[in-house]
């Protein structure tokens, strides 16, 4: 079904998802000259609040799009802001259904996929599931029925199965002018890290680190691959670092992940552990879910980190600068922040880890000499 079926709606906000890539690409073109009508939010809760503000200012219903993994981020604004037991602000959610039961997907999506429809029901959000066989007539009829819910201050969700939406126009383009590729950046970080611990963010960063270790003939016990929980890698690293002060911990973030839960940097700066090196590889892109732009091109990450209490904060955009920064940072012992400006892109043959998440956890805890597990 072509994404133009959403044409009657005038304001969209959300967090990109690979299953919703046709919608995101269409929005980039549709609102190219009206960027105030399509906002890529920091996280899904942020998007739900934007949708509320739009309704308060216009009386109309906004469309808020997200992957089902982001439902957790909308629970608070849905329950305490949008609900018709509170303000009664209607929103049309469009939810990419990753991990749908019976459909092969990555392990981090399996449980979320199982509970997606139940979560929406528990939030009093009426759902309409679409697939590749859904017709435009069926879709338009159902969304017309939703208007009655909206009039009562209730929200609704369109749950999108794999390949349910299509778009034949141009794909999204990122704003990065950098030339370094993330995989080459990671290789230099791995070399500099020696036997240190590395915690990586979700998406292609973890996949590339896994393959780099494979190519080097190393095991994966010193790496925690955060294959889900976008935006939480730095907090995981902080939790480890505070209990293992003799170990140096690297956290490798992406710009989209760092932006999603940016408050984690404030927590990091306040705790100020001297054994963490926090790297943000900034390609100005939600690359792992289709390439939609982030706000990474307009953020002064170095100024932000310094203002939040990181004693060392640097930004680099060449391999010479990166190598020098890695040398300087590893020669000291202070909480450090390093932004590496990167181009989007990865190998076409990039694989996925063949180690299950539970086994990764066991290997990682073994490397940290954790023998007793409750």
Q: What is the reported pLDDT for 75?
A: 97
Q: Is the pLDDT of residue 350 over 70?
A: yes
Q: Is the pLDDT of residue 374 over 90?
A: no
Q: Is the pLDDT of residue 236 over 90?
A: yes
Q: Is the pLDDT of residue 251 over 90?
A: yes
Distance CA 76, CA 72 (A): 8
- The average pLDDT across 47-62 equals 98
Give the CB-side neighbour count of residue 111, counting CA atoms within 13 A.
4
Better pLDDT: 107 or 119: 119
Q: What is the reported pLDDT for 353?
A: 83
pLDDT band at 290 (very low <50, low <70, confident <90, very high): confident
pLDDT band at 272 (very low <50, low <70, confident <90, very high): very high
| Strand pairing report for 197-200 and 156-160 | unpaired
pLDDT band at 175 (very low <50, low <70, confident <90, very high): low
227's CB contacts (< 8 A; 6+ apart) are: 106, 107, 108, 202, 206, 353, 357
- The average pLDDT across 226-232 equals 92
pLDDT band at 16 (very low <50, low <70, confident <90, very high): very high
pLDDT band at 173 (very low <50, low <70, confident <90, very high): low
pLDDT in tens, 305-337: 999 999 999 999 999 999 999 999 999 999 999
- Going along the chain from its start, the domains and CATH numbers come out as 3-160 (3.40.50.970), 182-367 (3.40.50.970)
157 close to 96: Cβ distance less than 8 angstroms: no
- The average pLDDT across 264-274 equals 98
Could you tell me what percent of the chain has a pLDDT over 70? 98
Q: Dig out the tokens for 203 from the structure.
A: 């998406």
Strand partners, 225: 200
Q: What is the reported pLDDT for 371?
A: 79
pLDDT in tens, 108-167: 889 999 999 999 999 999 999 999 999 999 999 999 999 999 999 999 999 999 999 999
348 burial (CB, 10 Å; 0-12 / 13-18 / 19+) is exposed
pLDDT band at 218 (very low <50, low <70, confident <90, very high): confident
Q: What is the reported pLDDT for 20?
A: 95
Q: Is the pLDDT of residue 180 over 80?
A: yes
pLDDT band at 172 (very low <50, low <70, confident <90, very high): low
Q: Is the pLDDT of residue 174 over 70?
A: no
Distance CA 358, CA 184 (A): 28
The CA-to-CA distance between both ends of the chain, in Å, stands at 49
pTM of the model: 0.93
Q: What is the mean pLDDT of the chain?
A: 94
Q: Is the pLDDT of residue 274 over 90?
A: yes
Cα 238 to the chain's mean position, in Å? 19
164 phi and psi angles, rounded to 5 deg: -75, -30
Q: What is the reported pLDDT for 225?
A: 94
């Amino acid at each position: 079904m072509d994404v133009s079926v959403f044409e009657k709606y005038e304001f969209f906000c959300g967090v990109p998802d690979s299953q919703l890539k046709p919608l995101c690409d269409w929005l980039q073109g549709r609102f190219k000259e009206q960027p105030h009508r399509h906002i890529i939010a920091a996280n899904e809760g942020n998007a739900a609040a934007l949708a509320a503000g739009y309704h308060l200012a216009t009386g109309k219903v906004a469309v808020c799009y997200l992957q089902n993994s982001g439902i957790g981020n909308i629970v608070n604004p849905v329950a305490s802001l949008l609900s018709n037991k509170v303000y009664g602000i209607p929103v049309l959610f469009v939810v990419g259904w990753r991990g749908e039961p019976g459909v092969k997907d990555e392990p981090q999506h399996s449980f979320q996929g199982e509970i997606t429809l139940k979560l929406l029901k528990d939030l009093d959000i009426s759902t309409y599931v679409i697939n590749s066989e859904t017709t435009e007539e069926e879709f338009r009829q159902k969304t017309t029925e939703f208007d009655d819910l909206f009039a009562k201050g209730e929200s609704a969700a369109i749950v999108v199965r794999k390949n349910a939406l299509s778009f034949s126009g141009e794909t999204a383009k990122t704003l990065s002018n950098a030339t370094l590729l993330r995989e080459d950046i990671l290789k230099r970080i791995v070399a500099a890290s020696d036997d240190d611990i590395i915690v990586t963010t979700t998406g292609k960063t973890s996949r590339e680190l896994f393959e780099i270790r494979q190519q080097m003939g190393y095991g994966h016990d010193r790496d925690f691959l955060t294959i889900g929980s976008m935006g939480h890698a730095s907090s995981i690293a902080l939790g480890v670092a505070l209990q293992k002060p003799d170990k140096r911990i690297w956290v490798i973030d992406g710009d989209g992940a760092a932006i999603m839960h940016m408050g984690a940097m404030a927590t990091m700066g306040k705790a100020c552990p001297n054994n963490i090196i926090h790297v943000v590889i900034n390609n100005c892109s939600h690359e792992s879910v289709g390439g939609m732009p982030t706000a990474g091109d307009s953020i002064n990450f170095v100024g932000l980190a310094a203002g939040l209490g990181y004693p060392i904060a640097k930004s680099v955009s060449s391999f010479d600068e990166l190598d020098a920064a890695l040398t300087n940072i590893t020669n000291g012992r202070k909480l450090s922040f390093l932004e590496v400006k990167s181009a989007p892109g990865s190998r076409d043959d990039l694989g996925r880890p063949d180690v299950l998440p539970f086994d990764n956890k066991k290997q990682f805890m073994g490397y940290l000499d954790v023998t007793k597990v409750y």
